[in-house]
Structure 1
C-alpha cells in the first residue's frame, strides 16, 4: 500500500475547489482520472517532472471511490487530510458540527494503537 499516494490524492484534491466538487459528484471517475493523470506528477515541481510507478491498490482505489473514510483510516491515510477534504465535500449537507461528530463516531471502534499514519 502507498500511504504516500493516498495522502497525495487527498491533499491535491482538497486544494482545488473544482476537484473537490468533481470528487463529490463523480468519485470513481475522479479517482481513475487522478491516478492516470496526476498520481505520478511530482508535488511542487516543474511541469514535466514525474515518476512512473505509483498506483493505488484495489483496496485504496475502492476506499477512495466509495468515500469510505473508515477504510482509509484503517489503511493509514492521514486523518487530518481525510477530515478536511470530507468536510469540504459533505459538511454542507449537515447541521453545525454534525458531520464532524458522525465522522468521529464511525471511527470510534478503533482501539489504540491506531493505524500508522507515517508516510
Structure 2
C-alpha cells in the first residue's frame, strides 16, 4: 500500500476539471487510466522523468473506484485531499454544506488515534 500514491491521485485529479468529471462518472476507468498514465510520473516534473514501481493495491483500487472516502482515510489518505476532491464531484448534488456534513457523519465511528496520514 502507498499512502503517497493515494494522495498523489487525489491531489492530481482534484486539480484537473476533466479528471474530476471522469472520476465522478467513470471511477474505475479513471483509476485504471490514471494509474497507467500518471502514477509513475514525477509530481510537478515536466522533464519526462518517470519511476517504474508505483501501483495501487487491489484494496486501494477498490476504495478509489467506489468513492469510499472512509476506507481511503483508514488506509492513510489525507482527509483534506479526499474532502476537496469529493466536494468538487458531489457538492453540486446537495444543498449548502449538506455533502460536507454527510462526509463527516460517515467518519463519526473513527476515534482517536486517527490513522497516520503522514506520507
Common fold by TM > 0.5: yes
TM-score normalised according to structure 1 size: 0.99
> Mind listing any 5+ residue stretches in structure 2 that lack a counterpart?
none
Which of structure 1's runs of 4+ aligned residues deviate more than 4 A? none
> Mind listing any 5+ residue stretches in structure 1 that lack a counterpart?
none
Distance in 2 separating the partners of 1:46 and 1:92: 33
Q: Corresponding residue for 1:89?
A: 89
Over aligned residues, Cα RMSD in angstroms? 0.5
TM-score normalised according to structure 2 size: 0.99
1:47 CA drift (Å): 3.4
1:44 CA drift (Å): 1.1
Q: How does 1:30-41 map to 2 (within 5 A)?
A: 30-41=30-41
Distance in 2 separating the partners of 1:47 and 1:69: 32
Distance in 1 separating the partners of 2:45 and 2:32: 22
Q: Corresponding residue for 1:66?
A: 66
Distance in 2 separating the partners of 1:31 and 1:14: 13
Distance in 1 separating the partners of 2:35 and 2:47: 17
1:46 CA drift (Å): 2.1
Distance in 1 separating the partners of 2:78 and 2:12: 13
Q: How does 1:42-61 map to 2 (within 5 A)?
A: 42-61=42-61
Q: Over residues 65-107 of structure 1, what are the superposed CA-to-partner deviations in whole Å (9 max), with x where a residue is unaligned?
A: 0000010010010000000000000000000000000000000
Q: How does 1:97-116 map to 2 (within 5 A)?
A: 97-116=97-116
Distance in 2 separating the partners of 1:89 and 1:114: 25
